[in-house]
Chain A
Amino acid sequence: MSTTLTPPDAQDATRRQQAMDEDAASARRDRRAAVIRYLGMPVFLLLVLLGLYLWVTSQELDSIEARTLTLDSLLGQTQQHITLTLYSTFFVLLLAVPLGILATRPKLRRYAPAIIGLGNAGQAIPSLGLLALLFYIFRTQPALPSTGTFPVVVSLVGYSFLPILRNTMVGLDQVDRFVLEAGRGMGMSNRKVLRSIELPLAVPVVLAGVRTALVLNVGTAALAFLFGGGGLGETIFSGFQLRRTPVLLTGAILVAVLALLVDYIAGLIEEKLTPKGL
C-alpha cells in the first residue's frame, strides 16, 4: 500500500527466524570480541611484569641494586606516582572543563582563541623546562612550598591543561546545531540545553582529552623526583646515574606499564560514560 504509514510486517516467518539466528550469531561474535578487548591488555601487562620479575631475579644483583630494587620502595614510588597523576588530573579537570564550557558560551566565544593560545603555550614549553620554571618561581615565593607534591601537581596541571580544555571546547562545538535549535525551540532554557544536550553529547570527546591528559601526566610525573615529589622517576634516574641496567629497566618498564594501565582504565570509563545511542 503506497499511502499507508504502518511499517510492513515481515510476513515471512522463516525469514524472520533466519534474521534472528543471524542476530544471535553476531551477538556471540561481539561477545567474544569484547572478552578479548577487555582482558587482552591486563593479561599483557601482567605478563610483562612477570617477565620483568623473572629477569631481575635471574640476575646477580650487587648491593646497590639490591638496595634500590626492594618491593617496598618500588611500591612506595608507584603509589606516589599514581597519587601525583590522579591529583593533577583531578585539578586539571576542575579547571579546564568549566573554562572550556565558559569559552564556548556565545558571550565569551570571542575569547576562545586567546584561551586556546594560553593552553598551547603551556604545552609548547618542554615539560622539564616548565617544571624548572615553576620550581624557580616557587623558590622565590617563601609562602609557597618549593618542593614536594604541591609544585609538581601545579606544573602537571599546567602541562595537561590543553588537551582537556581543547577537547572540552571541540566536544561542545561539534554538537549538531540543529539538535540545539530543536532543544531551544521546545522551550529548554540555555542551562537545560547545556546540561541535558550539550554536555552528554560532548562527553566522548572530553573523555578522550582526559585520557590523553592522564597518560601525559604519568609520563611527566616521572620528572617529579627532581623536585622531591618522588615517583618512579627516582628508580629510573638512580639506575641511569649508577649505570645499573636492571634498576633503570625496572623503573622504565614500571612507568610504561602504569601508563598503559591508566590508558586502559580510562578507556573503560570512557566507554561506560559515553551515552548510548551515539
Chain B
Amino acid sequence: MSNATSPETEIASLGEETPPGQTMIELKDLTKRFPGQETPAVDRLNLEIPKGEIVVFVGPSGCGKTTSLKMINRIIEPSSGNIIMDGQDVTSIDPNQLRRRIGYVIQQIGLFPHIRVGDNVATVPNLLGWDRERTTARVDELLDVVGLPPDQYRERFPKELSGGQRQRVGVARALAADPPVLLMDEPFGAIDPITRTRLQNEFLRLQSELQKTICFVTHDIDEAIKMGDRIAILREGSRVAQFATPEEILTNPANEFVEDFVGTGATLKRLKLTRVREVEPTEALVGTVDEDRAELRRRFDESEWTAMLLLDEQRRPLQWLRGTDLRSSRPLTEVGLRARATVEEQATLSDALEEMLLGAAGVAIVVDRRGAYQGLLDVDDIITAIQTMRDATAEFYRAAKLVDPEAEAGA
C-alpha cells in the first residue's frame, strides 16, 4: 500500500484487478495456534475464494470456522500463513486500513447502542472521511436497500428495533463503503426462523445485484446449501473435508465425514437449491378488483377452475373466490378465502413446499418483489422439479462414466 493513494481509492481499486470468477481471496497455509493449546485451532488452511461468490464455511462447533473467518480481516492475527486478497498480500498491512475495505457482519450484530441507526450505518464512511452529503445519501440508499424506510428508521436507536431489523442495519452498515469483500459470521443465527428465511432470501436477492465476494460462516448445513455458491465443509482444525458447490456436495459427498454432516434427506435438501423462479409457474384464473363482477362471473363459469384468484389494483393477491362468493351480493373484498401462501421468486422450492403445506389450498402463489402475482406453484410442479434434478444428476454421472450412487443404492 503506497501512502500516495487515499484509503478510499484503494477501496475502489480493490477487486477491480480481478475479473469475476477468478480467485479474490486466497488463504495459504493459514494457521492459528492459541497460546496454551496443543493443537492449532486452524491447521494450514488452504482455500481459494472466487470473486463474486458466496463461500460458506460450515462445520461442527469448535472446528475453527469462525477463527478462520476472523483471520481474514485479522480480528484474530494468524500465527503463520498468508492471506492474498486481489493479488495483494494483506497479511502484514495495517489491519485498520484492511478492515475498512472488508464488510463485517457478526451474529451479535454489535450495533453501537448509543448512536442512531443512520450514524451506525455511516460508521465506515465517517472513518474514510466522506463528506456529509455523500454519507447521508449513501445511508438513505442502504436503509432503503435493506427494507427500512430511511425517514422512519434513520433517527431511531438500535434498542428501538426488532432483532431482524437490527440485523438488517448490521448488513447495511457492512455495505456502507461498498466493500468488495464481506465477512459474515452466522449473521442470521440469532433470529427467529421466519425472519431468518426472509432475511436469507432478501440477502440472496441483494447479492445477485451486488456480486460481492462473501465468506459466510454457519453451523447449519441447510443454511450453507441455501446461501452458498460454494461450500467448504470443515472438520477439526479447519481441515477442508470438501470444497465444492452445494449440488456436488449433496450428490457426491467426498467422504464419510461429509456424508454424516450433510445428514439424511439429501433430496429434500436439494429443494433448497432450486429457486422458485427456475420453475415455470402454472397460470391461475385471475380477476382484479376493478373489473366488473358480472364479467368475473362469466370468466369463472366459462373456465374449469373451482376458484378464482382476486388481485388488487397493483396485481397483488387478495382472495380466492369460489362460485358462491361470486354470486353473493356482498363486496368482493369481503368474501372468499384470504390468499395466503405467497412466495417470492427468490425463495427456494423448499420454502414454497413449506408454504403449500401450511396453506389450505395446496398451492403457493408466486409473487415478484413488489408482491404482484406471477403464477401458481403446486405440489406436482415440485415433484416434477425433483424428477428433473434426479435425471440431470443421472445424466451427469453417465457423462462422467460414473455410476449414479442413488441408482446403485436403489438397485
The reply to whether the CB of A32 lies closer than 8 angstroms to some CB of chain B is no
Interface size on B, residues (CB 8 A): 52
Q: Is A70 engaged at the interface, CB distance under 8 Å to the other chain?
A: no
Q: Is the CB of A185 within 8 A of B106?
A: yes
Look across to chain B and name the residue whose beta carbon is closest to the beta carbon of A4.
Answer: B371
A189 close to B108 (CB less than 8 A): no
Judge whether A1 and B99 touch: CB under 8 Å.
no
| Closest-CB distance, B315 to chain A (whole angstroms) | 13
Residue in A186, A189, A277 with the greatest tally of chain B CB atoms within 10 Å: A186
Nearest CB of B to A20, in Å:
15
Partner of B113, one of A179, A185, A192: A179
Contact with A along B99-112 (1 / 0, CB 8 A): 11000101011111
Interface string of B183-196 (1 = CB under 8 A from A): 10000000000100
Q: Is the CB of A189 within 8 A of B106?
A: no
Q: Is the CB of B123 within 8 A of A3?
A: no
Q: Is the CB of A181 within 8 A of B198?
A: no
Judged by a CB distance under 8 angstroms, whether A200 is at the interface is yes
8 Å CB interface, B144-188 against A: 146-149, 157-159, 168, 170, 173-174, 183
Q: 1/0 contact trace for B58-99 toward A, CB 8 Å?
A: 000000000000000101000000000000000000011111
Does residue B355 face the partner (Cβ distance < 8 Å to A)?
yes
> Is the Cβ of A276 less than 8 Å from the Cβ of B114?
yes
A277 touches B367 (CB 8 A): no
By a CB distance below 8 angstroms, the chain B residues around A176 are 108, 110, 113
Known: A6-B147, A181-B110. A186 touches B202 (CB 8 A): no
Q: Which chain A residue has the least Cβ–Cβ distance from B159?
A: A277
Residues 189-203 of chain A, each 1 if its beta carbon lies under 8 Å from chain B, else 0: 100100011001100
CB contact under 8 A between A275 and B342, given known A3-B198, A185-B99, A186-B99: no
Q: B198, A186: Cβ atoms under 8 Å?
A: no
Pairwise interchain contact A7-B198, C-beta atoms closer than 8 A: no
A64 to chain B, nearest CB (A): 57
A residues less than 8 Å from B159 (CB atoms): 277-278
Chain B CB within 8 A of A114 CB: no
Assess whether A184 is in contact with B111, with CB atoms less than 8 Å apart: no
B114's partner among A178, A185, A277 (CB-CB below 8 A) is A277
Q: Looking at the complex, which of B30-38, B227-235, B344-352, B385-393 is the stretch in contact with chain A?
A: B344-352
Residues of A within 8 A of B347 (CB): 3
Task: Knowing A186-B104, A187-B99 are in contact, say whether A1-B367 is a contact too (CB < 8 A).
Answer: yes
- CB-based nearest A residue for B100: A187
Q: Does A2 contact B (CB under 8 A)?
A: yes
Q: Is A35 an interface residue (CB 8 A)?
A: no
| B contact residues around A201 at 8 Å (CB) | 113-114
Q: At the interface, is chain B mostly helix, strand, loop or mixed?
A: mixed
Q: A181-B110, A182-B106, A277-B115 known; A2 and B96 CB under 8 Å?
A: no
B146-A5 in contact (CB<8A): yes
* B398 neighbours in A (Cβ, 8 Å): none
For residue A183, CB closer than 8 A to chain B, the reply is: yes
Q: Is the CB of A200 within 8 A of B114?
A: yes
Determine if A188 is an interface residue (Cβ-Cβ < 8 Å). yes
**Which residue of A has the minimal Cβ distance to B127?**
A187
Chain A nearest CB, measured from B383 CB (Å)? 22
In the complex, which residues of chain A have a beta carbon less than 8 angstroms from the beta carbon of B109?
178, 182
B34 to chain A, nearest CB (A): 15
A278 and B75: CB pair below 8 A?
no
Which A residue sits closest to B75, measured CB to CB?
A: A185
Q: Within the assembled complex, what's the spacing in Å between the Cα atoms of A184 and B159? A: 21
Q: Return the CB mask of A247-274 against B: 1 if under 8 Å, else 0.
A: 0000000000000000000000000000
Q: Which residues of B contact A3 (CB under 8 A)?
A: 197-198, 201, 342-344, 346-347, 351, 367
B28 contacts across to A, CB distance below 8 A: none
Q: Can you sample 19 A-B contacts with CB below 8 Å?
A: A1-B342, A1-B367, A2-B198, A2-B341, A2-B355, A4-B369, A5-B146, A7-B147, A181-B106, A185-B99, A185-B110, A185-B183, A187-B95, A187-B100, A188-B96, A275-B114, A276-B157, A277-B116, A278-B114
Give the interface of B toward A (CB within 8 A).
Answer: 73, 75, 95-100, 104, 106, 108-116, 123-124, 127, 146-149, 157-159, 168, 170, 173-174, 183, 194, 197-199, 201-202, 316, 341-344, 346-347, 351, 355, 367, 369, 371
Using a CB–CB cutoff of 8 Å, the interface residues on chain A facing chain B are: 1-7, 176, 178-189, 192, 196-197, 200-201, 275-278
